[in-house]
A = this chain, B = another copy of it.
Amino acid sequence: MGLNMVRRLQRAGVRCVAYDTRAEAREAAAGDGADTADSLPDLVAKLASPRAIWLMLPTAVVDAVLDELLPQLAAGDMLIDGGNSHYVDDLRRARRLQQRGVLYVDVGVSGGVWGKDRGYCQMIGGPVEAYRHLEPAFAALAPGVAAAPRSPGRQGEPTPAEHGYLHCGPNGAGHFVKMVHNGIEYGLMAAYAEGLNILHCANVGREQRAADAETAPLEHPEHYQYDFPLADVVELWRRGSVIGSWLLDLTAIELAADASLARYSGQVSDSGEGRWTAMAAIEEGVPAPVLTSALFSRFASRGNDVYADKLMSAMRHAFGGHEEKPAGG
């Protein structure tokens, strides 16, 4: 993702010095006209003061890189964490950097592999002076006003939010909003996935069903005789319906390629932000059953519910002598 962001910045005339531990990534950046650095010290040396260093790293390694970078920075330098850090870590890091006069900026970046062309939606937290200094970079990365029709009621000069970047508040605010953004994303994805699964299984009335006390009867098999053309259904919903969205656009592409989704096994990863969103809801005392259910579905997709399921089978055996049946019922 970092490489694509460099490309978009360079294209907009924002000069970058790119560093990546992998040589091929550095070469790719060079091929796009960026300067490159061979090491963190080299990167620091090649930047003019005040330096602005933008990190795009897995959450788990941010602190290690900060440890290495911090002694090389000077007061007034800016350090931007554009990865998916927990906003609580931002608060800690901001305090630490502040002791050396370094300004910390947390930016939640959405856009995925499409961002290079589509632009990046940026949720920004940190000191106003750093935000102002970096605004040209934010604007270059952002999708721009034309990316969506103007909301009725909005007037005058478009605001930064209408360009696709927003100063959300003090440190942590950027990653907090990005965290919730991703929490919502989990919910949206699960809503589509559950609904399409219901359509996918709308032919269960055709199956033969055991008539024993272990199998829930299907009272009206004649109601479940449909074979829906899912790729077309999703394509249809892209036009004029209430549930149109960019995620639906992507789903249409995937289903058009293979409606059976045979290349996927269904082990759905989660990368932290859905978890933090649920935990924030819990700490705030705010109900979030939809977002949390979506998260739990991912956990279950990876088999982390098996012991619980065995317990339920064990209880059924204990009180009713029920034996487990094979899968698929």
Residues of B within 8 A of A287 (CB): 194, 296-297, 299-300, 304-305, 308
Contacts of A227 in B (CB 8 A): 169
Residue of B nearest to A225 (CB): B170
Contact of A217 among B60, B176, B226 (CB under 8 A): B60
- Asked whether A32 is an interface residue with its Cβ less than 8 Å from the other chain, the reply is no
A82 within 8 A of B: no
B241 engages A111 (CB within 8 Å): yes
Bound-state CA distance A198–B85 (Å) is 18
Q: Does A161 belong to the interface (CB within 8 Å)?
A: yes
Contact A307 B84 (CB under 8 A): no
**A309 and B290 contacting across the interface, CB-CB below 8 Å:** no
Query: Is A294's CB within 8 Å of the partner chain B?
Result: yes
User: C-beta contact mask, A260-296 vs B, less than 8 Å → 1, else 0?
Assistant: 0100111111111001011111111111111111111
Expressed in whole angstroms, the Cα–Cα distance for A190 and B287 within the complex equals: 11
- Interchain CB contact (< 8 A) of A296 among B184, B238, B292, B298: B292
Closest to A261 in B: B310
Question: Which residues on the B side are within 8 Å of A120 (C-beta)?
Answer: 240
Residue pair B233, A168 in contact (C-beta under 8 Å): yes
**Residues in A206-225 with C-beta less than 8 Å from chain B:** 209, 211-220, 222-224
Listed A/B pairs (13) with beta-carbon separation below 8 Å: A87-B223, A110-B242, A110-B243, A148-B249, A153-B256, A164-B239, A187-B188, A190-B290, A243-B246, A253-B318, A261-B313, A264-B317, A297-B308
Kindly list the 8 A-B residue pairs having the minimum CB-CB distance in the complex, ordered from nearest. Answer: A187-B191, A245-B245, A266-B309, A250-B318, A164-B239, A121-B241, A121-B240, A60-B211
